[in-house]
Structure 1
Amino acid sequence: MKSKKELIIGLVSIVGIAGLVVGFYFLKGQEIWKIRTVYYTHYNNSGGLNTGRPVNLNGLQVGIVTKVSFQPPNINRVLVEFELNDPNIKSITKGSQMVLNSDLLSGPYLDIKWKDTTSFYNSNDTIPSTVSLALEDQINERLLPLEKKTDELISTADSAIKTIEAIFSRNTDNLDQSFEGIKNAINNFERVSLNLDTLIKSQKYRIGEILYNVESITDNLKESNDQISNLISNTAQITDTLAKVDFVGTVDKAKKSLEEANLILYDLQHGDGTLTHLIQDSTMYFQINEMLSEATRLIENIKTHPNRYLQFSIFGGRDKSILDARDEKMLKKFAKDSLSK
């Protein structure tokens, strides 16, 4: 019974110790049964770096700091131990550097400055280190421009205050006049608003009619929407038709017709035809008029005295002269002029 009790106590003690060990490594961010890839680097000053701080690559955490201590026997050197826990990063390439960086909010951490090479460091190797811009330097870098702008702002404000003091001390009368003008402007605005309110109240009925008419117009436009759409469609069709018309060809044809008309007019003016003589020679014009006049008289004479021109003999007798001397002379002249032309 006693041995059984001691066995239980021993088992509980072992489990408790194991739990403490596992919890200790868990709090440190380490896994007990995992093969660890451990590296070392060193700095002159840790800058507040301690165990559990992240090791980053391109902004992502790929490892954790496991130990920060002096590098004996030189106490001016700080040895930093860290391990990789990202399955995608098995080891660090040669030529890479461990940068001690610091952030205003998260504090110090290690950053891997990766170099693409084909050779890698082995576990427990020491990797070259470098220090980024210190936190104090970062703060100074950001605060110095702000301090400069603050000084400029204070100087500008001081100049503005001095200017205002000068204005108030020298131009008090002008300021009084300005304030009086502002007061008068406010009073005028109040009167205008009162008059406007009175006008609106007095013309309330007419304003209602105007609004009613506007509403009627909008209703008519809404009802005529289809007609307006058809009008726009017809206009679009007309413009499309006009766009398809061959204006260039039409203009060319008109130009060609004008050129031909010019040639005809030129021939009439400089040619040797009948129309040219008729246009340029007035004698021919008067002769034609005279001939037409004589022909008209002859036709009228034939209509008036047809028996003078048409006589028939059943027995084959000899025809008598059917024209008098004047008519015979006129016919001969008409025939002669006709043949000569």
Structure 2
Amino acid sequence: MSKELKTGIIAVIIIVISIWGYNFLKGQNLLDPGSRTFKVEYGKIGGLTKSSSVTINGLKVGKVDKIEFDRSEEKRGHLIVTFIVDNDFEFSKKSIVRIYSPNPLSGSNLAVIPSYEGEMAVSGDLLEGEMEESLFTSIGERLNPLQQKIESVIVRADTLFSGVNRILNDETIDGINSSVSNLAGTIADIRKTIQAVNSMVVDNQENLKITLENTKNITKNFSKVSDSLNAVDFNKIISKAEEAVSNFNEMSKKINSGDGTIGKLINDKRMYDNLEAATRELEELLRDIKLNPKRYIHFSIFGKSPEPYGEEIQY
């Protein structure tokens, strides 16, 4: 055998050993023809990684081979986990592959919950998956909304305190101190006023007692007046008032219609004109008597007849 052939054989052996070692470190045993591959789809994997352990009833039977996204339109964003089972233990297609965490400090693993009903699972089958909600996962999911609310409250409180700090400057604090001092003075004045009022009440206690007695008597008198008013027949008074108003309205109607002397005097224009003419003539007569009294009052010893009436011309 030539030296070159020996070198080639050694190189091939080294390459094969390297490939086997690399896959062995990944959890794949190329020398084991009984390995089977299964797939599971999850919405979230909760810290599951490549080379995570796969167990059946607590016994390690394989490892996670790869994790990739689902490329279909309906389930875009879901994750497809491919794992290898080295054990020849058989279970049906109804078995469930659960993601669980052995303890809070370690990563997640896969646990096959075997079912023996129906058709047995073969390499390449897609199994049903679920995720175990551990105590820490449940607490974390409940604390996440609470954490967001607390952070929001902290931000608002920080904003509030910033506003308070801007308001409570030295000038504002001095003003508050001054207001508190003024308030204390006002309270002291109010106390003095109350003490003075109390002293005045004590000093005038007898007068207040007399005033209350007078008030009581006045109330009794008002009560008597009220009884007297209750005894008055207001209905009768109102009836008589209505009757008087009715008579007045009837008289007004007669006057407006021209019935009677007053109605004719008010409504007959000729009577008004005659009265006006008579008044005017009476006024002229009185004026003439005043100016020419000899014409109306005549004394004659010798029997001289009076002069005939003639209107004098006034200048």
Q: Same fold judged by TM-score > 0.5?
A: no
TM (norm. structure 1) is: 0.37
**Greater relative contact order: 1 or 2 (C-alpha under 8 angstroms, separation 6 or more)?**
2
Higher helix share: 1
Structure number, greater radius of gyration: 2
TM (norm. structure 2) is: 0.39
